[in-house]
């Protein structure tokens, strides 16, 4: 059976093709259009998925959409009318979007794919997240927790999943409906703190580590735990239905102080903030972040306890936007009643295209739990050999007008490249560069699904050098100093590096938990640690990514630990690179020293001048 999953309309549009129960290809539209979190119909992603399988849309047995547009429209209409006339602008804007475009999703998909509407179906948004979480888990049965901003009506939902007679069965237990949304609260606080909502929630999470949760008692009253073990959000503090008035209300500002403009400096540094540079105002903002983060964790744990009471399994599948919060995820791993936790590689909306397609295939044609497990490496793989021919024609001075701020290139320097036929030699050469303190862009194999760079679209440096990490932040990534980096480590060295239960190692394959690092390893991983001594590791198993594992191993032979600081290969404000030429452009404009493109290494030969 050939099933195409499609997700679009709000953010992170994506497509996924499943053939006979296996994921053939999956990609986010942003990787093709270069528009971060692109929400438009995933034309290019669909084209890529079909091309990867050698199919046309006429060959599809079914297309499946990740949202029930009719139910969602009922929520949008009712919620914008509930606050009328204060919400009149929001009402007009949302009706224009819904009546003009979003409500007709089935017709749009039918027209874009040239597919009969009978071949198109949809699942509710949270149900899509639930099947997304369950299908990739490999569990026979599991409790399922979905915590999101908002779907059709639900904001959080509890499900159970099991396999019955070779078919998956996912049942809803209960849900918390709009406007009681943990995801929306976190996004509103993110905007209040001067970061971009629906994108920079990670900055709120990073800022929280610099604060003390002195506002937590007040925040607990605003996001109140109810007697039935769920929660309720006091709407007097947030403008969820009047978003043109700003993310939070006057009442919130009166209690927590003025909001931050994105231009205001936040002088926190994850490698140690110099004494005396943090103003009272900046500290207040960090305290608000810490309080929000703490209460979010408490409410998510409350949902876990409630879910475990209703579905007493050892397994938990967790998805939805809030499951991208790796600090909260570690609390779930550590403090919830569940023993095994599965979070899909892309637990946000982008990953629902994968889960819905797998679910439809298994529900119609039958399947087994293990067959629908999938790796995050489902995206585009492109040959670099044509692109590197450009190196002979490129002079660094061509890019002088386009360099990132603060980047300087010596005049007369030249690019050079070498293509290796022997992989061992290749990784030895790259490991030598990394040991020498170079910043290396790494693009090999198929791109990752989801927001985490897992070795195939990564920028790598040695993990012990904080000065090098600062140079990476300033002259390559343009990243705020308060945001920590993550690292990758081979499974062999992971236990000696991470202060976690050995049984939890395999759950850390995709950078989804902020875990404590062993004291003995902290000096060697100093560049990849947050101020609180935690990091977000990728434990790399050889069967997950043999090429990246080989590079980590080669580096480990020189460094002592097979670990590298790993950050996503993207310019600030853009998605991760897709093509070799995009990688080369970023290499040219920034302070990167070398570039690994599949089997070719390009470097800036400064000595040549």
Partner 1 sequence: MSNTRKWYTGLVVIPRTALRTAGAFNNQGLGRFVPFVFVLLLGSAVLWIINTIAPLAPFIYSLF
Contact 269/482 with Cβ under 8 angstroms? yes
User: Which residues does residue 441 pair with via DSSP β-bridges, in sequence order?
Assistant: 459, 595
Task: Give the chain's length.
Answer: 609
- Least Å from the CB of residue 153 to partner 1: 7
Of 101-109, 324-332, 470-478, 485-493, the segment contacting partner 1 by CB under 8 A is 101-109
Nearer to partner 1, 116 or 606 (CB): 116
- State how far the Cα of 160 lies from the Cα of 478, in Å rounded to an integer: 42
85 sits near partner 1 (criterion: CB under 8 A)? no
111 sits near partner 1 (criterion: CB under 8 A)? yes
Of 24-32, 113-121, 269-277, 308-316, the segment contacting partner 1 by CB under 8 A is 113-121
- Least Å from the CB of residue 93 to partner 1: 14
**SS3 per-residue string spanning 163-201:** EECCEEEEEEEEEEECCCCHHHHHHHHHHHCCCCCCCCH
- Please state the φ and ψ torsions of residue 463, each to the nearest 5 degrees: -85, -5
Nearer to partner 1, 1 or 403 (CB): 1
- State how far the Cα of 505 lies from the Cα of 493, in Å rounded to an integer: 11
Nearer to partner 1, 93 or 141 (CB): 93
The dihedral built from the CA positions of residue 452, 454, 460 and 464, taken in this order, carries a sign that is positive
User: Which residues does residue 18 pair with via DSSP β-bridges, in sequence order?
Assistant: 3, 23
- State how far the Cα of 457 lies from the Cα of 571, in Å rounded to an integer: 12
- Least Å from the CB of residue 291 to partner 1: 34
Nearer to partner 1, 4 or 517 (CB): 4
Nearer to partner 1, 71 or 542 (CB): 71
For partner 1, the binding residue among 118, 165, 228, 607 (CB under 8 A) is: 118
107 sits near partner 1 (criterion: CB under 8 A)? yes
- Reading the block at residue 606, the tokens are 């400064």
Nearer to partner 1, 104 or 271 (CB): 104
1 sits near partner 1 (criterion: CB under 8 A)? no
Question: CA distances (Å), 578 to each of 37, 325, 379, 421, 586, in order?
Answer: 15, 25, 9, 23, 12
For partner 1, the binding residue among 54, 85, 114, 276 (CB under 8 A) is: 114
Nearer to partner 1, 77 or 542 (CB): 77
Of 93-101, 184-192, 229-237, 510-518, the segment contacting partner 1 by CB under 8 A is 93-101
For partner 1, the binding residue among 53, 55, 103, 365 (CB under 8 A) is: 103
- Please state the φ and ψ torsions of residue 25, each to the nearest 5 degrees: -160, 150
Restricting to residues 143-182, name those near partner 1 by CB under 8 A: 153
Of 105-113, 251-259, 313-321, 375-383, the segment contacting partner 1 by CB under 8 A is 105-113
Nearer to partner 1, 60 or 182 (CB): 60
Nearer to partner 1, 99 or 277 (CB): 99
Nearer to partner 1, 99 or 496 (CB): 99
Question: Considering only CA atoms, which of 506, 375, 352 is closest in space to residue 446?
Answer: 375
The CA angle 311-314-318, to the nearest 5 degrees, is 75
State how beta strands 14-19 and 2-7 pair. antiparallel
Please provide the distance, in angstroms rounded to a whole number, between the alpha carbons at the two ends of the chain.
Answer: 59
- Reading the block at residue 252, the tokens are 């919130």
- DSSP annotation of 38: -
Question: Considering only CA atoms, which of 381, 379, 569, 547 is closest in space to residue 461?
Answer: 569
- Least Å from the CB of residue 82 to partner 1: 11
- State how far the Cα of 459 lies from the Cα of 535, in Å rounded to an integer: 17
Nearer to partner 1, 16 or 60 (CB): 60
Of 94-102, 422-430, 530-538, 540-548, the segment contacting partner 1 by CB under 8 A is 94-102
Restricting to residues 21-80, name those near partner 1 by CB under 8 A: 57-60, 68-71, 73-74, 77-78
226 sits near partner 1 (criterion: CB under 8 A)? no
Contact 15/353 with Cβ under 8 angstroms? yes
Of 6-14, 46-54, 102-110, 491-499, the segment contacting partner 1 by CB under 8 A is 102-110
467 sits near partner 1 (criterion: CB under 8 A)? no
Nearer to partner 1, 103 or 173 (CB): 103
- Least Å from the CB of residue 394 to partner 1: 46
115 sits near partner 1 (criterion: CB under 8 A)? yes
Contact 270/567 with Cβ under 8 angstroms? no
104 sits near partner 1 (criterion: CB under 8 A)? yes
- Least Å from the CB of residue 307 to partner 1: 24
Of 6-14, 114-122, 295-303, 564-572, the segment contacting partner 1 by CB under 8 A is 114-122
Q: Which residues contact 293 (CB under 8 A, 6 or more apart)?
A: 204, 205, 208, 213, 325, 327, 328
- State how far the Cα of 511 lies from the Cα of 52, in Å rounded to an integer: 27
- State how far the Cα of 329 lies from the Cα of 512, in Å rounded to an integer: 7
The CA angle 97-99-105, to the nearest 5 degrees, is 85
89 sits near partner 1 (criterion: CB under 8 A)? no
Question: CA distances (Å), 408 to each of 323, 401, 411, 476, in order?
Answer: 40, 11, 9, 12
Nearer to partner 1, 59 or 221 (CB): 59
For partner 1, the binding residue among 117, 217, 258, 546 (CB under 8 A) is: 117
99 sits near partner 1 (criterion: CB under 8 A)? yes
Q: Helix, strand, coil shares of the chain as percentages rounded to 5?
A: 45, 20, 35
- DSSP annotation of 120: E
364 sits near partner 1 (criterion: CB under 8 A)? no
Query: What residues line the site for partner 1 (CB under 8 A)?
Result: 57-60, 68-71, 73-74, 77-78, 95, 99-100, 103-104, 106-107, 110-111, 113-119, 153
């Amino acid at each position: 059976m050939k099933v195409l999953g499609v997700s679009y309309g709000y953010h992170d549009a994506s497509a996924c093709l499943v053939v006979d129960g296996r994921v053939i290809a999956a990609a986010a539209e942003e990787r093709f259009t270069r528009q971060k979190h692109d929400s438009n119909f995933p034309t290019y992603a669909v084209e890529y998925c079909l091309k990867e399988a050698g199919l046309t849309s006429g060959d599809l047995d079914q297309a499946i959409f990740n949202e029930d547009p009719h139910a969602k429209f009922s929520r949008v209409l009712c919620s914008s009318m509930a606050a009328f006339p204060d919400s009149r602008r929001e009402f007009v804007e949302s009706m224009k979007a819904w009546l003009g475009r979003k409500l007709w999703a089935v017709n749009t998909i039918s027209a874009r794919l040239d597919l009969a509407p009978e071949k198109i179906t949809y699942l509710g948004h949270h149900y899509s997240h639930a099947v997304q979480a369950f299908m990739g888990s490999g569990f026979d049965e599991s409790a399922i927790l979905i915590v999101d901003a908002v779907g059709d009506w639900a904001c959080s939902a509890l499900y159970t999943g099991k396999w019955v007679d070779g078919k998956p069965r996912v049942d809803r237990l209960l849900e918390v409906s709009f406007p009681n949304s943990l995801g929306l609260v976190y996004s509103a606080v993110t905007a209040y703190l001067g970061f971009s909502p629906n994108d920079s929630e990670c900055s709120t999470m990073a800022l929280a580590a610099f604060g003390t949760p002195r506002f937590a008692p007040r925040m607990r009253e605003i996001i109140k735990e109810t007697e039935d073990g769920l929660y309720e959000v006091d709407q007097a503090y947030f403008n969820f239905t009047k978003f043109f008035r700003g993310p939070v209300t006057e009442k919130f500002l009166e209690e927590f102080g003025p909001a931050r403009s994105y231009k205001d400096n936040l002088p926190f540094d994850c490698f140690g903030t110099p004494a005396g540079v943090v103003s009272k105002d900046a500290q207040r903002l960090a305290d608000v972040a810490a309080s929000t983060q703490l209460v979010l964790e408490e409410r998510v744990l409350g949902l876990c306890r409630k879910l475990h009471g209703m579905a007493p399994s050892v397994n938990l599948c967790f998805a939805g936007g809030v499951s991208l919060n790796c600090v909260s995820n570690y609390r779930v791993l550590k403090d919830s009643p569940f023993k095994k936790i599965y979070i899909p590689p892309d637990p946000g909306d982008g990953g629902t295209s994968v889960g819905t397609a797998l679910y439809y295939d298994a529900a119609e044609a039958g399947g087994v739990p293990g067959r629908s497990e999938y790796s995050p490496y489902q995206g585009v793989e492109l040959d670099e050999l044509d692109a590197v021919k450009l190196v002979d024609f490129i002079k660094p001075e061509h890019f002088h007008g386009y360099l990132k701020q603060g980047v300087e290139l010596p005049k007369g320097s030249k690019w050079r490249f070498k293509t290796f036929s022997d992989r061992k030699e290749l990784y030895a050469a790259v490991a030598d560069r990394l040991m020498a303190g170079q910043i290396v862009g790494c693009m090999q194999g198929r791109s990752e699904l989801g927001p985490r760079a897992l070795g195939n679209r990564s920028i790598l440096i040695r993990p012990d050098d904080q000065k090098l990490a600062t140079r990476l932040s300033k002259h390559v990534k343009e990243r705020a100093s308060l945001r920590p980096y993550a690292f990758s480590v081979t499974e062999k060295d992971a236990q000696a590096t991470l202060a976690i239960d050995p049984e939890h190692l395999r759950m850390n394959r995709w950078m989804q938990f902020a875990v404590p690092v062993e004291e003995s390893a902290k000096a060697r991983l100093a560049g990849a640690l947050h101020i609180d001594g935690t990091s977000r590791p990728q434990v790399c198993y050889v069967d997950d990514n043999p090429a990246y594992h080989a590079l980590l191993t080669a580096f480990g032979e020189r460094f002592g630990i097979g670990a590298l600081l790993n950050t996503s290969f993207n310019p600030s404000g853009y998605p991760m690179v897709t093509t070799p030429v995009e990688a080369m452009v970023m290499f040219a404009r920034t302070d990167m020293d070398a570039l690994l493109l599949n089997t070719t290494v390009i470097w800036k030969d400064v000595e040549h001048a």
